[in-house]
Amino acid sequence: MTAGPIVAGLMAAATGSYELGFTILAVLAGMGSVFFILAMPRSDPASCSPPASMSPRPSPIAPWLRAANGLPSHAFGSPG
């Protein structure tokens, strides 16, 4: 997307018309759309789950801050 105006400008400078540059960009965008539609989800959703080493971390909110704000000790997923 960032290179689109640059490509169109270079093609316009080379050919004197924006038509070729925009045609090339339209074809590339169309191909991207087709590939997106044809993309298949993974057959095994379990393979997308995070590894066990990435277990949830304790809350970074200090216990005194939770208590000062009237939050339960288990707020934000941190065991009390």
What is the CB neighbour count within 10 angstroms for residue 24? 14
The one-character DSSP state at 79 is -
Q: Are 7 and 27 in contact (CB under 8 A)?
A: no
Positions of the chain with pLDDT under 50: 80
pTM: 0.47
pLDDT at 14: 92
pLDDT at 80: 47
Tell me the residue type at 59: S
pLDDT at 45: 66
pLDDT at 2: 81
Q: Are 20 and 11 in contact (CB under 8 A)?
A: yes
Q: pLDDT tens digit string along 20-37? A: 888 988 999 999 999 999
